[in-house]
């Protein structure tokens, strides 16, 4: 791809402002989740009106992007909305339509994980996350599209096909929470759940010009049947068009985990007020002193976004690499393959129905020894100790969210960056690994657009347990930029 320089935002706004037909879309769907929920609770708008507007927008825009899949019947959803209006207001998400990531089983909805193995699977009960959303008052309308088994930061699968980037349909939207990011960008939903092992909600948030938050590991419990002692890489988290809205969903998703009593007890984050950045000390890690390559324009554009933080009173220091990146990477790919292999080993008899990257992870897991896993865990522990020291001196650290601009939608994954060959299907997303490996809270913040018209983001992350602080700092950044509100995508 060619160099993507920062652009004149005043002239660029005319190119990307949302220009969908006024007859089918109204301003209701462009409001914040906080505003919608306040009006629903006060009965100023009805759940029926909101559901009707939601389904109308989905019908108008989703065919162009394929973000939402496995939708429930329109008549049934309208009936659920009427029932909400007829009953008492119950739960913080009362009456809000939400589509759930298609890695989560939802009772009565086809739940495929993007795999032909499960293309006709309709669960008889909700996974824990879906059940919590329902208990909070949300109406579950369908699924957001994912890559097969959530592997790879590019949303395509043999069941539903590809999800297009909302700013250019010829480009990827990232993944694995790609459908969620696109649905948010286009105002088809106000809140979305995602999951993040290797940037799976940060990457698509960056490429859809929205926010995605990976919480401290353990704040959002795994499903009761899943191991949470040995495998500590993946977590669910919220996505939205502002950190304040993210806080609303994070509080619903978070709860004390009786199966993990040593996990950090979740503290409420909503309502979220912006944290003054005056006097905050931030560390900019750039490309980790050459630890990973970046496509032309990514570094320069990310650094331009840091000026917003400086303008708000923060000190931003460029730091040298704090730890050997290859040790982080080797620890990561070992522990990741171990976790992915453990999760999918029961399906290995269906190998002919799995994509190459799934088989690669299974094969690596099958060759590992206990000592391989131990050595990887020891490297992880050393990086965690170094990070603890860093956060004694810095309120947060910052990295680019992606190493490349959104690439050709027909390309499975980037095979090289800036002349450097990628030796695995996921090496091109190495920049998210320092966060994921040790379970730190990290917020993707939209960072503008290149001259190619494509968005990118920076990820701000902090010490474990500082979720509220990172979100509040992000809200200060958001109120100085309003990227998702100023520059929603245009579909014609």
Hey, which residues are catalytic here?
Answer: 101, 176, 200
Question: Alpha helix (H) ranges present in 17-46?
Answer: 33-41
Other beta carbons within 10 Å of 416: 13
Cβ proximity of 72 and 84 under 8 Å: no
In Å, what is the CA distance from 247 to each residue of 244, 268, 273, 465, 469?
A: 5, 8, 10, 14, 11
Q: Where are the beta strands (DSSP E) in 54-134?
A: 68-69, 97-101
Cβ proximity of 447 and 458 under 8 Å: yes
Nearest partner of 440 among 490, 384, 481, 489, judged by Cα: 384
Q: Collapse the DSSP code of 36 into the 3-class scheme (helix H, G, I; strand E, B; otherwise coil) and give the result.
A: helix
Residues contacting 98, CB < 8 A, separation 6+: 133, 138, 139, 140, 141, 189, 191, 192, 193
Q: Which two tokens stand for residue 298?
A: 């990514």
In Å, what is the CA distance from 110 to each residue of 103, 191, 390?
A: 11, 21, 45
Residues in the chain: 492
Half-sphere exposure of 324 (CA within 13 A, CB side): 7
Residues contacting 246, CB < 8 A, separation 6+: 211, 213, 238, 239, 240, 272, 443, 471
DSSP string, 444-462: EEEEEEBTTS-EEEEEEE-
CA 68 to CA 109: how far, in whole Å? 12
DSSP string, 243-283: HHHHHHHHHHH----TT-TTSPPPPP--S--PPP-TT-EEE
Q: Which two tokens stand for residue 315?
A: 């000190």
């Amino acid at each position: 791809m060619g160099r993507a320089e920062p652009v004149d935002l005043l002239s660029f706004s005319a190119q990307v402002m949302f220009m969908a037909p006024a007859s089918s879309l109204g301003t209701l769907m462009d409001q914040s989740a906080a505003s919608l929920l306040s009006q629903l609770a006060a009965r100023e708008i009805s759940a029926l009106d909101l559901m009707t507007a939601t389904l109308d927008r989905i019908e108008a825009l989703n065919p162009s992007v394929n973000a939402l899949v496995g939708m429930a019947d329109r008549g049934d959803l309208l009936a659920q909305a009427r029932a909400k209006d007829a009953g008492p207001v119950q739960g913080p998400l009362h009456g809000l339509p939400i589509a759930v990531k298609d890695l989560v089983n939802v009772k009565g909805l086809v739940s495929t994980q993007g795999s032909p193995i499960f293309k006709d699977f309709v669960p008889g009960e909700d996974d824990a996350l879906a059940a919590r959303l329902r208990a909070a008052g949300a109406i579950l309308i369908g699924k957001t599209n994912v890559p097969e088994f959530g592997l790879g930061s590019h949303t395509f699968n043999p069941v539903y096909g590809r999800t297009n980037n909302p700013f250019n349909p010829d480009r990827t939207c990232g993944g694995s929470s790609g459908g969620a990011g696109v649905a948010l960008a286009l105002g088809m939903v106000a809140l979305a759940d995602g999951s993040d092992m290797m940037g799976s909600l940060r990457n698509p948030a960056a490429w859809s010009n929205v926010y995605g938050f990976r919480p401290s590991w353990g704040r959002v419990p795994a499903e009761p049947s899943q191991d949470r002692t040995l495998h500590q890489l993946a977590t669910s988290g919220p996505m939205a068009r502002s950190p304040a809205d993210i806080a609303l969903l994070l509080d619903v998703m978070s709860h004390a985990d009786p199966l993990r009593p040593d996990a950090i007890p979740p503290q409420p984050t909503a309502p979220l007020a912006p944290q003054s950045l005056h006097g905050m000390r931030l560390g900019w890690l750039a490309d980790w002193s050459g630890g990973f390559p970046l496509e032309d324009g990514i570094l320069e554009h990310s650094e331009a976004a840091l000026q917003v933080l400086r303008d708000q009173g923060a000190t931003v220091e460029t730091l040298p690499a704090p730890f050997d990146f290859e040790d982080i990477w080797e620890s990561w790919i070992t522990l990741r393959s171990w976790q992915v292999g453990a999760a999918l080993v029961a399906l290995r008899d269906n190998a002919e129905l799995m994509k190459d990257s799934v088989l690669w992870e299974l094969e690596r897991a099958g060759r590992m020894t206990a000592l391989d896993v131990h050595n990887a865990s020891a490297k992880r522990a050393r990086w965690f100790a170094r990070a603890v020291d860093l956060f004694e001196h810095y309120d947060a650290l910052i990295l680019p969210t992606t190493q490349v601009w959104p690439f050709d939608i027909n390309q499975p994954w980037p095979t090289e960056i800036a002349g450097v060959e990628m030796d695995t299907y996921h090496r091109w997303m190495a920049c998210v690994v320092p966060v994921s490996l040790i379970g730190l809270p990290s917020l993707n913040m939209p960072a503008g657009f290149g001259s190619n018209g494509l968005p990118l983001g920076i990820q701000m992350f902090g010490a474990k347990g500082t979720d509220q602080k990172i979100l509040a700092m992000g809200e200060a950044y958001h109120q100085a930029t309003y990227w998702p509100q100023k520059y929603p995508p245009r579909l014609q």
